[in-house]
Amino acid sequence: MGYALADFHSGSIEGLASTTATEVDAALVQAASEPMPHPFTWASADTVRAMLRAGAPGEIPFVRTHGAPTVSHTVLDDSVASFDAPVEGADPAERDLAIALRSIAETFSPEATRTFLDAYEEGGGRLPVPAVLDWYALLAAFR
């Protein structure tokens, strides 16, 4: 799965729009009407809304993103992984990585995320910036 996502991220972003702003808007609507999802139950709704409004920190390169790189969307064909339902955009890789890491941790174990990141890096992907990964994990919690 790590190799497949690294390969997907290496594709052209020509003609793709960022999906982050739309997702932030949807998350803000949800944050206003529902309790905070785990692990953000420690924060007030106002704090989470402020974090989402602030946007992802730092200047991070944009890549072609999948939007749903989860274990359930991974297809194996002759031991080659791919994803069955691309939702393409041009966003930081951390957007997809946050979703993939959560899916792997929930499906297998948190320890399996290290193997995924090793394969992602070996496949040509850049290791995530922790602060940006955390921000997208927050956004992914509202999906």
pLDDT of residue 34: 80
Tally of domains within the chain? 1
The per-residue pLDDT for range 92-143, each reduced to its tens digit, is 999 999 999 999 999 999 999 999 999 999 999 999 999 999 999 988 888 7
CATH number at residue 124: 3.90.1200.10
Domain that holds residue 113: 2-140
pLDDT of residue 95: 93
Question: Distance between CA 52 and CA 50 in Å, rounded?
Answer: 5
Q: Which single residue is written with the structure tokens 């594709």? A: 11
Nearest CA among 9, 131, 137, 126 for reference residue 58? 131
Q: Residue 4 class from Cβ within 10 Å (0-12 exposed, 13-18 middle, 19+ buried)?
A: buried
The per-residue pLDDT for range 8-64, each reduced to its tens digit, is 999 999 999 998 889 899 988 888 888 777 777 888 888 888 888 888 887 889 999
